[in-house]
Amino acid sequence: MKVFVCVKNVPDTAANIRVVGENSFDESIKFLINPYDEYAIEEAARLVEKEGGEVVLVTVGKESAIKTVRSALALGSHRAILVTTDKQFLDSADTAAILQKVMEDDGPADIIFAGKQAVDSEAMQTAYRLAEGLNIPIASDVTEFSVANDKVSVEREIGGGEREIIEMTMPCVVAASKGLNEPRYPKLPDVMKAKKKEVKQIALADLGLTLTSETKLVTLEQVPDRSGAKIIGGSVSGGVAELVKILREDEKVIS
C-alpha cells in the first residue's frame, strides 16, 4: 500500500505572532508539524505498519521546512518530497495544484492523509481541492478510520457531537481531526534514521505549473489581548450577584 501524507510547516501554536508590514509576520519563531497533520502521519504509519507499503510525505514550504520534514520522517514515514517556495502563504487552490502534480509525478497512492486544517491560514479546504483535482472522494474532520475490502470507512464529527459514518472507495483523501489516534513520540533511533531518509527537494518553478492565486492576503492585523479582568471581590453570594447584574444590565449578554 502506498500512502501520501500532506504535511505543512507552521508556527508553534504557543508562539507569539508579530505582524510585520502589511501582510507578513516575524518568522524567527519556532516552526513545527501542523498539529492536525500529526494525526495524519500517525494514521498512515499505523496503516502501512499493518498492511505493508510506504508512507510518502509531501510538503510545500520554504526551504527551512526541511527541519519539520525530518521530524515528520521520524514518525514512521519512509521518504518525503519537499516543494520549495519563498512564500509562507500560498492559497489553497495553488497548494492543492502543487500537491496534485507532485503526487501524479511520483505515482498514484491508495490513500492520501492530510490534517483537516493548517493552524496558520486555517483555510480548511486544501484537501478538498486536492481530491477534486485527482477526482477521488474526500472526507474531512475524521476521528476514526479503517480499511476493509478496498473500502475506507471513517467517522466524521458533525455538529452537536453527532458523527457521520462514511464509506469511500479507494483511492481517497482522509483529512484528520483530533481524536483519530494518539500520535507517537519519536525515539532517538527513529530521529537518527530519519536523517538518512530520502527527501526529494523540488523548486516550485521547476514543476511547470501555472498558479491562479485567486485569494490574496491583503492585510494581517494583530489582535490585542484583553487588558485584564475586573476582579469582583467580596463574599461569594455578593460576588455572583454583582456579576449577574453586570452581565444582565451592563453587558446585556444574558436575559
Give dist(CA 96, CA 134) in Å, integer: 10
Task: Give me the sign of the Cα torsion angle 88, 91, 95, 97.
Answer: negative
Minimum CB separation from another protein for residue 175, in Å?
A: 10
Q: Which residues contact 127 (CB under 8 A, 6 or more apart)?
A: 6, 96, 112, 114, 116, 138, 140, 173, 175
CB of 8 to another protein, least distance (A): 13
Torsion angle (degrees, nearest 10) of CA 232, 233, 236, 242: -40
From the CB of 38, what's the least distance to another protein, in Å?
10
Q: 80 vs 176, which CB is nearer to another protein?
A: 176
Return the number of the residue (104 or 206) whose C-beta is nearest another protein: 104
Distance of CA 138 to the CA centre of its chain: 15
CB nearer another protein, residue 25 or residue 113: 25
Nearest CB to another protein, comparing residues 170 and 191: 170
Q: How far is CA 231 from CA 216, 245, 247, in A?
A: 42, 14, 14
For another protein, the closer of residues 4 and 36 by Cβ is 36
Q: Least Å distance between CB 118 and another protein?
A: 10
In the bound complex, what is the minimum distance in angstroms from residue 135's beta carbon to another protein? 9
